[in-house]
Amino acid sequence: MDKEFLNAEEASELLQINEKKLYKLAHDGDIPATKVTGKWLFPFNELVKFLNLSSLKNLKFRYKLTPSAGKLILMTGSDDPLLQLILGWFNKEYPEMLVFYSNVGSRKGLNILKNGLSHIALSHIYDPSEDTYNTEAVKKVDKNNNSFVVVNLFDRELGFIYRDNKADSFREIADKKLKFINRPQNSGTRILADYILNREKLNPGNIAGYDKEVSSHLEIAEHIAEGKADIGISNAFYVDLFGLNFDRVKTESFDMVLEKDFYFSEEYQLFLEFLKKEDIRSAIDSFKGYSSVNTGKIKI
């Protein structure tokens, strides 16, 4: 087959399973797949390797992505609008490279990487015991002792965003009876929100809308701008676009987590050099709440 990527119908036929089962496996990170503009795509060569290595009766955790699959980089993990712009710039400058990204949340992205189903996990999981990002989360999935590298993509501010109803804490949100909009439990933003809520000795039931989840920072901003919610925790990317306000809670490290052998691959080194270019760093710094001061630096 000449196609590099299959659609759901073609992948289902190749794997001899129905599309419902295919979507579940893709969503759970059990087969190689990426989501592009809301649609799942399946890399043909990786699916063939998957079939060679796996029995359909025992799909889970059997597939191992090759360190460098041609000129392909698969990323999974946390949502960030600037990340999507960066990938677009990279694909434009290096059209021979294929970089695909799927938003599944920080924690799930790390698990997918651990299971060998992606090259890079994007993560920003806060560790309050050491006031750091990703260090402990990576240790939990790194069963081979120091097999992963953590590289900073950029630093970004996370905070409360709102229209008119300012609040600096969940206690104030509860007292003012404001309606909150949340992120999924796999996301780094939700992990930080849960930590703050617990630190303030509150329960989710104390906050109206705490159980209402959306999958992206764009949806957080849209819900608040449209009056469907009063306040949420997000980055500052969409604040000016939607005429919202932003109060910083934390400056976080938004990181790339990858295996050491892939770090030294031609594909990743090309991407890393691209990130270190002065015009790319300047572009990162031009967005509200973002900084390239640590971009490309190895943390672990």
Q: Specify the range with the lowest mean pLDDT, choosing from 64-78, 157-171, 195-209, 227-241.
A: 64-78
- Check whether 262 has a pLDDT greater than 80: yes
Tell me the mean pLDDT in the region 147-166.
Answer: 96
Q: Specify the range with the lowest mean pLDDT, choosing from 97-101, 164-168, 225-229.
A: 97-101
| Between 300 and 191, residue with greater pLDDT | 191
Most confident stretch, 21-30, 90-99, 100-109, 223-232: 223-232
Q: Can you read off the two tokens belonging to residue 251?
A: 């400056």
Tell me the mean pLDDT in the region 130-153.
Answer: 89
Contact 161, 231 (CB under 8 A): yes
Q: How many whole angstroms separate alpha carbon 180 and alpha carbon 160?
A: 10
Q: Specify the range with the lowest mean pLDDT, choosing from 45-49, 57-61, 80-84, 200-204.
A: 57-61
- Check whether 143 has a pLDDT greater than 60: yes
Tell me the mean pLDDT in the region 104-113.
Answer: 92
Please give the pLDDT value at position 74.
Answer: 92
- Mean pLDDT, the chain, rounded, equals 88
Question: 146: alpha, beta or left, given left = phi > 0 and alpha = psi -120 to 50?
Answer: left
Residue 106: name the closest of 192, 4, 228, 19 by CA: 192
Q: What percent of the chain has pLDDT over 70?
A: 90
**Which domains does the chain show, CATH number per domain?**
5-155+253-291 (3.40.190.10), 158-251 (3.40.190.10)
Please give the pLDDT value at position 62.
Answer: 40
Note the residue count of the chain.
300
Please give the pLDDT value at position 63.
Answer: 44
Q: How many whole angstroms separate alpha carbon 193 and alpha carbon 130?
A: 17
Close Cβ partners of 31 (under 8 Å, ≥ 6 residues apart): 15, 22, 25, 42, 47, 50, 59, 63, 117
Contact 82, 112 (CB under 8 A): no
Contact 231, 193 (CB under 8 A): no
Contacts by 137-142, CB closer than 8 A, 24 or more apart: 137/106, 137/107, 137/110, 138/110, 138/257, 138/300, 141/110, 141/111, 141/113, 141/114, 142/114
| Between 30 and 181, residue with greater pLDDT | 181
Please give the pLDDT value at position 124.
Answer: 96
Per-residue pLDDT reduced to its tens digit, 168-223 = 999 999 999 999 999 998 799 999 999 999 999 999 999 999 999 998 999 999 99
